[in-house]
Chain A
C-alpha cells in the first residue's frame, strides 16, 4: 500500500517534469480556450457599448456609423439642460428613488427583525414561504394585479372604499397624484419578503452567547434589540444602503413602464423610460445616450458622496 503511493508520487513528479518542459501556454491552453467566449461576450456586449457612449458627443447617423458621424461637442448636453421635460425627468427619477429608499429599503429590515422574534419555527417557515412568493411573479404580472385591484369599475380596492365611505371611486391609475405611490408600493409588495433573506442571514450571524450573557445580566428583549441585534445588523444595512444610493436613479424600467400613460407620465416618467421611448422607439440615439450618460454620472456622484458620508459617520463604507 505504502509502496504504491510512493510509486504514484514518483510518477506524478515525473509527469510534472514532462509538463514543465512544454511551454506554459500549450499546457494550459484548455483554460484559455474556455475563457475566449466570455472575453468576446464582455467585449461585444459591455465594452463596445461603453465605448459607443461617444455618440453622446456626436451627431449619430445610422448610415455613417459611430466612427464617421460628426462631432458636435456638448450640443446634446446643452439641449438636455434646456429641455423642458428635463426637470420633470430629474425630479421623478430622484423622488421615486428616494421614496424607494425611505419606504422600500427599511421595510425588509423591519420584517426580518419581526420574523426573527418568532419563536415558533414552523410558523416562521410558513411566513417565509408566503412572503417570498411575490418575488417570483414578473413585473408584468404585478402590474396586472395592480390594474385589476385598482380598477375604477370592478377593482376590489374601490369596491371596499366606496362601500366604506360612500364616496365616488378613485381612479388611481389615471391620476398623476397617485402614480408614484402605486409604483413604490407595488414594488414593495413584490420585493419586501425577498429582501429579508439577507438580513435574516446577518441575524443568524450574531453570536448567541451575546444574548445569553445579556439575559444573565437581566437585559430584556428590547435592550437586547437595541444593544445587540441592531449593532449586529448595522454593517449589512450600511453596505446595502450605499449600494441602493448608488442606484437611486435606476428605478427599473419593467417596474415603472406599465404605469405610464398620458395622464401619469408628468409625475412618473423617469430617465430609463424616457430613454426607451425617445431613443429606441423615437430614434434620437445621440440625445438619449447623452441622457443616459448624465444619469450614470449623477448616480456615480451620489455613490461617492454617500460613501464618504458613511465613512465619516459610521466608519463603514464600500471602498
Chain B
C-alpha cells in the first residue's frame, strides 16, 4: 500500500533534497577550488579568474612542488612517524586491553580506574612539556610517538570488542596449554581484525594530521613533519619553504598561491585516496565509541 503524500510533504521533501545538495556543494567547493587553482596558470590565479575548474591548464605548480626538497623531507618524516607511531599505538592498545578484558583478573578494577582518571583529568600542558623535555625527547621523532603512545579511549573500544569474543575459545586454548601470549597473538588478534583496522586508521590519520605535537617538541627544521610544514607555508606564508630546491627561473610561471594550492593537494592525496576504504571503518569506530558514552 502506498500512502499518498500531501503537497506540503512533497514541498518539504524537495526543499530538503535541495538543501542537502547545497550542503554537499559547500563541503566540496573549497576543495574543488584548490584543485582547480593548483592546475591554473599564474595569470589566471593572480587575476582571480579561477572558480572550480582550472583556467589555462598547467602543471608548473606541481613540477615545483615535486622538486621541493623540504616538502619531500617533511613528507618522509610524516610517513615514518605514522608507520612507527601506529605500530606502537596498536601494540600498546592490544596488550593493555587484553588483560583488562579478563573479568576475573585481580586488581583489574584498580588499573581501570587508574586509566579512566586520566580521561577525566587531562595532563596540563607545561608540566607535560617538561616531562618530555626531561626525558630528552625534544627534537627527536620519539617526541611525536611516545607521549601519545596509548589512547585510553581507543583502549576501551578494543577492550569492549575483546569482551564480545566467545569465552569458550579461550577456555579451549588454555586447556590445550597455550600461553596467554600465544592466545593473544594466534587467536584473539586474528579474530579482532575489524576493530584493529578501525583503531589503526584512527591512530594513523591522527598522526598524519597533527601539527601541535611537532610545534611543541620539534624546533629542528630538519625534523618538521608535513603538517607543520603546511602550517608554515600557509599561516606564516614562508616563501623559502615554498620554493626550496628550485631556481628562480623555474618559478617564473608560478605564483605563491598556486604553489600553496599544489602543496596542499599533494599533502592531502594520501588521506583522500584511502578515504573510500576507511570511511566505513571510521563510522563503525565512531559508533562503538558513542555506545560507550
- Chain A residues within 8 Å of B, Cβ to Cβ: 8, 11-12, 15, 24, 28, 30-32, 34-35, 37-39, 41-42, 44-53, 55, 66, 111, 114-115, 117-120, 123, 126-127, 129-134, 136-141, 143-145, 147-149, 151, 153-156, 158-159, 189, 193-194, 197-198, 201, 215, 220-221, 236, 239-240, 243, 253-254, 257-259, 272, 275-276, 279-280, 285, 288-289, 292-293, 296
Contact = CB atoms under 8 A, between A and B. Distances in A.
A258 B212 CA distance: 11
Contacts of A111: 23
Given A42-B114, A130-B24, A31 B128 contact: no
The 7 closest A-B pairs by CB, nearest first: A52-B127, A138-B209, A31-B99, A30-B180, A49-B127, A49-B123, A38-B96
B27 A131 contact: yes
B124 A53 contact: yes
A140 B210 CA distance: 8
B164 to A, nearest CB: 18
B126 A285 contact: yes
Nearest to A117: B16
Chain B contact residues: helix, strand, loop or mixed: helix
A120 B20 CA distance: 12
A148 B3 CA distance: 49
Contact of B99 (A34, A133, A236): A34
Contacts of B135: 44
22 contacts: A34-B95, A35-B99, A38-B115, A42-B114, A44-B131, A45-B123, A49-B123, A49-B128, A50-B127, A111-B23, A115-B20, A118-B16, A133-B28, A140-B235, A143-B234, A145-B31, A189-B26, A193-B23, A198-B287, A254-B211, A275-B126, A288-B126
B175 interface: yes
Contacts of B114: 39, 42
Interface in B15-70: 16-17, 19-21, 23-24, 26-28, 30-31, 33-34, 37, 45-48, 50-51
Given A38-B92, A289-B127, A154 B48 contact: yes
A111 B283 CA distance: 17
Contact of A276 (B125, B147, B179): B125
B234 A140 contact: yes
Contacts of B211: 138-140, 254
The interface residues of chain A, by DSSP majority, are classed as: helix
Contacts of B128: 45, 49, 52
A243 B119 CA distance: 12
A127 B92 contact: no
A279 B4 CA distance: 65
Residue of A45, A111, A126, A194 ringed by the most chain B CB atoms within 10 A = A45
Given A49-B123, A136-B275, A293-B124, A31 B23 contact: no
A253 B268 CA distance: 21
A254 B210 contact: yes
B279 A132 contact: yes
B3 A41 contact: no
A133 B234 CA distance: 21
Contacts of B23: 111, 127, 131, 193
A49 B131 contact: yes
Interface in B177-219: 177, 179-181, 184, 205, 208-212, 215-216
A45 B147 contact: yes
B90 interface: no
Contact of B227 (A119, A138, A285): A138
B18 to A, nearest CB: 11
A126 B27 CA distance: 12
A197 B290 contact: yes
Most chain B CB within 10 A, of A32, A48, A154, is at: A154
Nearest to A42: B118
A151 B209 contact: no
Contacts of B130: 49, 52, 55, 66, 285
A226 to B, nearest CB: 14
Contacts of B243: none
A133 B293 CA distance: 24
